[in-house]
Amino acid sequence: MNQSLHILGTPPNAWQVNAEIADITRPPLEANIITLPTETKLLRLDLAKAALLVIDMQNDFCHPDGWLASIGVDVSPARSPIAPLQNLLPLLRSHNMPILWVNWGNRPDLLNISAGIHHVYNPTGKGVGLGDPLPKNNAPVLMAGSWAAAVVDELAQKPEDICIDKYRMSGFWDTPLDSILKNLGKTTLFFAGVNIDQCVMATLQDANFLSYDCILLQDCSATTSPEYCLQATLYNIKQCFGFVTDSQILQKSMPGIMNYEL
């Protein structure tokens, strides 16, 4: 075969072409198999086909000057994933696992936001809602590019990471997330972030409906909701939508650290 072929697309979902040939074989990624204990099954999975979704670890949800704190919510639970993620992210990057930051990042004109979504953030119509200035620093609530929508400083994003703006609780609704994951050849998704019973769960459910394999990292996820919301979410993930483990178990399962045996 003529070797002067040019890549079109994003590997592994790429063609190689020239004027005469279109090679559409899409060579597979080199496998990187691990065994991972979860609360219900011992999994065998391929790290080469995995990605981490970090959802809504943003100032508006996790910072004492953000939106949740401004309406009287104790955001300390939402900050609990920060430390385990600080430990986990460098290791995942060293294994070339994509890190996708999936965050609320609304349009300045809010033209794609329905009245029902506005109501979640401003149920009386007189409070501080989407796009309104925060009391302490005037940053517009969950506006793309603003301090309010930025990931907390403690979780530094890297140039190789992928950022997705979302406009609903699910990161898949009306976003390019599914297309990006398919182009990257990812079929196994790890989930982290806040709130575990709202945006994390909605995104994980949609991922399951789209036939991704879903694994929640419990210590890298949290909620400011009541405890029964957390317990119901964990039950439903294990029962219906995927698996639950934690970052320390994942780290011990990765090559070069310590492997669990089947």
pLDDT tens digits for range 44-77: 999 999 999 999 999 999 999 999 999 999 999 9
Rounded to 5 degrees, φ, ψ at 218 are -65, -40
Question: Using an 8 Å Cβ cutoff, are 43 and 249 in contact?
Answer: no
Structure confidence at residue 260 (pLDDT): 40
Structure confidence at residue 167 (pLDDT): 96
Q: How far is CA 34 from CA 6, 7, 144, 255, in A?
A: 33, 30, 37, 7
User: Catalytic residue at 166?
Assistant: yes
pLDDT, greater one: 156 or 87: 87
| Active-site annotation holder among 49, 56, 62, 197 | 56
The pLDDT tens digits of the residues spanning 220-254 come to 999 999 999 999 999 999 999 999 999 999 999 99
Structure confidence at residue 262 (pLDDT): 34
CA dihedral 209, 117, 222, 180 (to 10 degrees): 40
Confidence of residue 161 (pLDDT cuts 50, 70, 90): very high
Rounded to 5 degrees, φ, ψ at 62 are -125, -10
- Listed range (23-32, 94-103, 185-194, 201-210) with the worst mean pLDDT: 23-32
Structure confidence at residue 212 (pLDDT): 98
CA atoms of 35 and 195, how far apart (whole Å): 28
Paired tokens of 223: 């909620």
Structure confidence at residue 34 (pLDDT): 97
The pTM (predicted TM-score) of the whole model is 0.94
Structure confidence at residue 259 (pLDDT): 44
**Range 133-153 average pLDDT:** 97
The stretches of the chain forming alpha helices (DSSP H) are 59-62, 67-70, 76-79, 82-94, 115-121, 177-183, 201-209, 227-236, 247-253
| Active-site annotation holder among 62, 199, 214, 220 | 199
Q: For the beta carbon of residue 120, count every other beta carbon within 10 angstroms.
A: 11
Over 70: is that where the pLDDT of 261 sits?
no
CA atoms of 222 and 230, how far apart (whole Å): 8
| Active-site annotation holder among 60, 62, 166, 206 | 166
Q: Report the share of the chain in percent with pLDDT over 70.
A: 97
Q: Calculate ∠ Cα 233-235-237, nearest 5°.
A: 70
User: Catalytic residue at 229?
Assistant: no
Structure confidence at residue 256 (pLDDT): 72
The pLDDT tens digits of the residues spanning 9-40 come to 999 999 999 999 999 999 888 999 999 999 99
Q: Report the share of the chain in percent with pLDDT over 90.
A: 94
**Range 72-97 average pLDDT:** 97
User: Catalytic residue at 206?
Assistant: no
Over 50: is that where the pLDDT of 144 sits?
yes
Structure confidence at residue 257 (pLDDT): 58
